[in-house]
Structure 1
Amino acid sequence: MIRTPKKLWVMHRIGNKLQKINNIIKVIPEWRQRYIVNNVEGVNSKDLAQKWASYTRDSSLFIKEDDIVGIEDESRLLEESLMDGELQQTLISVVGMGGSGKTTLVAKMYNNETVKSHFDCYAWITISQTYIRDELFRSLIKEFHQSRKEQQPPELSGKDYVELVNILRSYLDLKEYLVVLDDVWDTNLWEVIKVALPDNHLGSRIMLTTRKEDVGSFSSGVISYIFHIKPLKGSEAWHLFCKKAFSSYPDKSCPRELELLASELVGKCKGLPLAVVALGGLMSSKKSITEWRSVYDNLNWQLNNNQMLEVVKSILLLSFNDLPYPLKHCFLYCCLFPEDYIIRRKRLIRLWMAEGFIQRVNRITPAEVAESYLMELIFGACFKLY
């Protein structure tokens, strides 16, 4: 068989491409080591929307303390209930709508150095609608040891239910501890978890956040308090919105020509701090009345045509749609990780760079560009920060 020069040239090109593919396959293990890519459970396309919601749901964790308004009384009462001298184990439930500031309030207490120094060890666990009992106990063990800068017990992954409970009970036996259970949906959670949290009469506290009144009320055999988070008053919501939307303006005040539209937009937030902060962040980049009107019309359409979407999710969806494409790619990439998976900042930046998501900018390193992407996503209420 005689091959024509053209066919030989085509086969040569195909051979070169195959060689390049083989070379890439050979260095993949090296890339995994370089970028510290471990095996994690992925999700399929059907789960992406749910994963996106889970990342945005808890984004109130990075609302700055000077952005917290309307919960001063709750903050004072909650702090008192944590350190009131009562020695019996106490369960404190913070109940409110999604985006009402439950997690923000509890995070403020949890990160308070006075509160932390009051307890021997502490742990923060996000529960969500689905959880695995044994994984929950493993997370508690890790968090408690990290809070005291101690090395965690070896081979936790191989421990069964009884062993995990015994480890927790033994570790907590003579300690005053604080546990936060964030975003609880299951009324039976307390029955599941209390076996591993001994009441040693040293003043230990368990705080939980939930949208469901029946979850907050279900606490058998323990002292319990319930704090209800109310929506912001109109003046509080307006003040918070202006701080975010007009941060670059003198006195952070709303221009007169935008007052009517701004007032209508704030009204759509129904007094929910996360909605106000997210919408204010979105509007901070809009300068003309035309742009403001466009956002207002889009939000109205979302609320009228997507009845299943709550106001917070509608506003977060608008914020996401407004992101530049490179930032969308970076954000959606994070949906490939399991829910509540903690990603270190530097590692995430390396992964974005390895995937080719970072645009080239003159005189700025790719790492610096990636850092700016991350900060913009944080400002836009897309990430939960630890």
Structure 2
Amino acid sequence: MQHDVLVGRGDVEKELITRLTDNEEEKSLCVISLVSEEALGKTALARNVYNKVDIRQHFQCRAWLHVAKDFTYKDLLLAIIKQIPICGVLADVELMSEHQLSALLFQILIELCTPFTVVANGSRVILTTRDSKVASEVDPWGHPLKLMRLSDEESCKLFLKVVNGANHDNLNNFKVGIVRICRGLPPTIVLLGGLFSSIQPNDEWSGVTDHLSQYLGDDDQSVDLLTIVALSYHELPYVLKPCFLCLTLFPKAYEIPTQRLLQLWIAKEFIQISTTTTTSVLEPEDLAKAYLEELVSTNMIEIATWKEHGSPKTCRMSSFLYNVFLPKDEDIGFLQIHHCNSHVHESNQIIRRLADHYVGVKSTLESHTQHLCSYVSFEAQKQGTSNREAKNLRHLFMNEVSIAKPSSKESSRTNLQTLMGLLLGAKDPYEYGLDWFTSLRKLGVSCHPKSAEKTAKCISGLDKLQTLRLRSKD
């Protein structure tokens, strides 16, 4: 549940929905900007409206994009095409040129001459930005929706919503101090609510408000969001801190499959096995789920989607937290991220956790992979990635990446249990050494029809395999 859009945003949300669905006055393309210089929940509000049932039914196609500073036009086209629910158009789409992608998008959305040009079918774009100049440039005749800070009453109401399991009667004694500290900033309120949820009432709550009040200064403005973030992270149990930081391995605003995240935690040995009072040993998977629940209760991460039976399906770190922790993680050497269009340089630094984000990463050097305990790739064009030294890996998730055959059969007898997103193409699967990965329990493969029969025979020899996802490239 996204608490920061449930309180004090009713009028803005209603106006946004009206502008999205009212085609009588404006049938051409319309850009609706949500603007605020501060972190006031613009993205959360837009996402909440984007996922509403009546909005999903109103628009035949929808696409959600996070435009990073180093995003290219090709990245934009790929992100849009991958979200259009039309089957049979995604084969080798990442390998297409920018011109080919534009032509493909034109073919799919025939009413559009080029992406985002003026059309007469009521297309809409929601833009969230801190810069009012950006909003005026994309639509000089538009009227941006400006988000304001919450009122004192709204701030208290939101705070009571986000303090998980706390006695509201006890909280009433702290309302004045909380209002002074937060000054109507939803992210600050949400984090402070999570902090109150994780500590003992009364005395410790008083300690938090007293500590934060000293940062108000003479102007009595709200406490800086970074101060709240730092305190929230400091108060996390030590076993949860690396689990939380692990979320920055994924791209900003990415909805992370919870099962994949839990597997990463287990593979990285972040899960501290303990015993209960009955001396029974908890399974790592059960303990990892408990870690996730505790992190969610602190409001440091949020559940994005749920499975039908009610368990978390995907989760994410909020954008403002991601902006804070990614550079810190890289500075302390916790992980390394290869960003869009980044050139990878030789380094003496030992890298334990590596992720390739977006299209355009130039290379992954062997020196960067030989000590890895985890590797997450979102780079679809990477070919022939060396795996001669990726021996400690237990779970490897890729996006249709072709990896080289191990240097020897003995070196491939690793702990690798999960291999998803492997691209075999038209080559003989035995040339990739797929039959050598005898410890695999979960496998996801994309192959060419020419190699399908041999691929099936190769896979049948993996006697520990429990889950298989097989995709044809035709």
TM-score, L = length of structure 2 = 0.57
Contact 2:213 2:223 in 1 (8 A): no
Contact 1:349 1:367 in 2 (8 A): yes
Match of 2:200 in 1: 287
Give the one of 124, 129, 132 matched to 1:213. 132
Q: Partner of 1:125: helix, strand, or coil?
A: coil
Contact 2:170 2:202 in 1 (8 A): no
Measure the CA separation in 2 of the matches of 1:91 and 1:138.
21
Give the one of 261, 265, 272 matched to 2:185. 272
Q: Deviations over 1:144-176 (max 9, x none)?
A: 2xxx3635422122122211222222222248x
Contact 2:40 2:147 in 1 (8 A): yes
Is there any run of 5+ residues in structure 1 with no aligned partner, and where? 1-61, 176-193
TM-aligned CA deviation for residue 68 of structure 1: 1.1
Match of 1:3 in 2: none
Match of 1:325 in 2: 238
1:253 aligns with 2:169: yes
Q: Deviations over 1:213-266 (max 9, x none)?
A: 111111258x633100111000110121123237432xx33456xx2x442233
TM-aligned CA deviation for residue 325 of structure 1: 1.0
Q: Deviations over 1:328-355 (max 9, x none)?
A: 0111123334444543211111111111
Give the one of 55, 59, 82 matched to 1:119. 59
Give the one of 79, 92, 97 matched to 1:139. 79
One-letter code of the match for 2:189? V
TM-aligned CA deviation for residue 204 of structure 1: 0.6
Contact 1:358 1:369 in 2 (8 A): yes
Match of 1:163 in 2: 100
Contact 2:191 2:228 in 1 (8 A): yes
One-letter code of the match for 1:92? I
Q: Deviations over 1:294-348 (max 9, x none)?
A: 32344346666xxxx9722321221111111111011112333444454321111
1:224 aligns with 2:165: no
Match of 1:344 in 2: 257
TM-aligned CA deviation for residue 129 of structure 1: 3.5
One-letter code of the match for 1:232? L
Q: Identify the structure with bigger relative contact order (alpha carbons < 8 Å, sequence gap 6+).
A: 1
Match of 2:295 in 1: 377
Match of 2:20 in 1: 82
Match of 1:38 in 2: none
Give the one of 219, 222, 236 matched to 2:154. 236
One-letter code of the match for 1:275? T
Match of 1:313 in 2: 226
Q: Partner of 2:120: helix, strand, or coil?
A: coil
Q: Partner of 1:284: helix, strand, or coil?
A: helix
Measure the CA separation in 2 of the matches of 1:205 and 1:165.
19
Measure the CA separation in 2 of the matches of 1:220 and 1:74.
19
Give the one of 253, 263, 267 matched to 2:176. 263
Measure the CA separation in 1 of the matches of 2:211 and 2:33.
36
Measure the CA separation in 1 of the matches of 2:57 and 2:126.
17
Is there any run of 5+ residues in structure 2 with no aligned partner, and where? 306-474
One-letter code of the match for 1:351? L
Q: Deviations over 1:274-296 (max 9, x none)?
A: 21111011112333443123323
The structure with more strand, counted as a fraction of residues: 2
Contact 1:168 1:197 in 2 (8 A): no
Measure the CA separation in 2 of the matches of 1:115 and 1:207.
12
TM-aligned CA deviation for residue 374 of structure 1: 1.6
TM-score, L = length of structure 1 = 0.69
Measure the CA separation in 1 of the matches of 2:143 and 2:70.
25
Measure the CA separation in 2 of the matches of 1:253 and 1:243.
13
**Cα–Cα, structure 1 residues 311 and 200, in superposed 2: closer, same or farther, change >3 Å?**
same
One-letter code of the match for 2:41? G
**Cα–Cα, structure 1 residues 246 and 376, in superposed 2: closer, same or farther, change >3 Å?**
closer
Match of 1:365 in 2: 283
One-letter code of the match for 1:150? C
Measure the CA separation in 1 of the matches of 2:139 and 2:40.
27
Percent identity between the two aligned chains:
30
Contact 1:349 1:370 in 2 (8 A): yes
Contact 2:265 2:271 in 1 (8 A): yes
Measure the CA separation in 1 of the matches of 2:102 and 2:14.
34
One-letter code of the match for 1:205? R
Q: Partner of 2:135: helix, strand, or coil?
A: helix
How many residues are aligned here?
Answer: 293
Contact 1:246 1:254 in 2 (8 A): no
Q: Partner of 1:230: helix, strand, or coil?
A: coil
Match of 2:396 in 1: none
The structure with more helix, counted as a fraction of residues: 1
**Cα–Cα, structure 1 residues 118 and 69, in superposed 2: closer, same or farther, change >3 Å?**
same
